[in-house]
A and B are shown apart, each in its own frame.
Chain A
Amino acid sequence: MSDPAPPVLRVRDLAVFAGEKPLLRRASFEVGEREVFGIIGPSGAGKTTLLRALNRLVELIPGLRVAGEVELRGQPIAGLEVNALRARVGMIFQQPVIFPTSIAENVLFAARRLRPLSRSERMALTEHALREAALWAEVRDRLHAPALSLSAGQQQRLCIARALAVDPEVLLMDEPTSALDPKSTHAIEELILRLKATHTIVLVTHNAAQARRVTDWLACVCIRDGVGEIVESACCATMLDSPQCREVVEYLEHTR
Chain B
Amino acid sequence: MRKVTDFALAGFAAICAAFALAVLGGLVVVVAGRGASALDVSFLTGEMQRAGAAGGIFWHLVGTAILLVSAFLICTPFALGLALVERVWWPGERGRRFLRTALYTLNGLPSILFGIFGFIVLVQWCGWGKSWLIGGIVLAMCMLPTVTLALVERLRAIPARYLEAAAALGLDRAQIILAVLLPQAWGGLISGSLLGLARAAGETAPIMFTCTIFAGATWPQGIKDNPVLTLPYHIFILAQDSFDPAVGARLWGAAFVLLALVFLLSLLALPWRLRHHEEADV
Contact = CB atoms under 8 A, between A and B. Distances in A.
A binds B: yes
A57 interface: yes
Interface in B167-203: 167-172, 175, 178-180, 183-184
Given A109-B179, A113-B179, A93 B169 contact: no
Contact of A109 (B167, B169, B184): B169
Interface stretch (A14-22, A84-92, A187-195): A84-92
Contacts of B168: 55, 57, 86, 90-91, 93
Contacts of A93: 161, 164-165, 168
A84 to B, nearest CB: 7
A162 B170 contact: no
Contacts of B171: 83, 110, 113-114
B170 A99 contact: no
Nearest to B161: A97
A99 B161 contact: no
Nearest to B279: A100
Nearest to B92: A62
Nearest to B173: A83
Nearest to B168: A91
- Name the prevailing secondary structure of the B interface residues: helix
A57 B164 contact: yes
A77 to B, nearest CB: 13
Interface residues of A, number: 25
Interface in A96-125: 97, 99-101, 109-110, 113-114
B164 A113 contact: no
Contact of B169 (A60, A86, A100, A101): A86
A99 B180 contact: yes
Contacts of A85: 170
A87 B169 contact: yes
A99 B162 contact: yes
Given A99-B180, A109-B179, A113-B175, A86 B161 contact: no
B170 A110 contact: yes
Interface of B: 161-172, 175, 178-180, 183-184
15 contacts: A83-B172, A86-B167, A91-B168, A95-B161, A97-B164, A109-B169, A109-B179, A110-B170, A113-B171, A113-B179, A114-B171, A159-B165, A163-B169, A166-B169, A166-B170
Interface of A: 55, 57, 60, 83-88, 90-91, 93, 95, 97, 99-101, 109-110, 113-114, 159, 162-163, 166
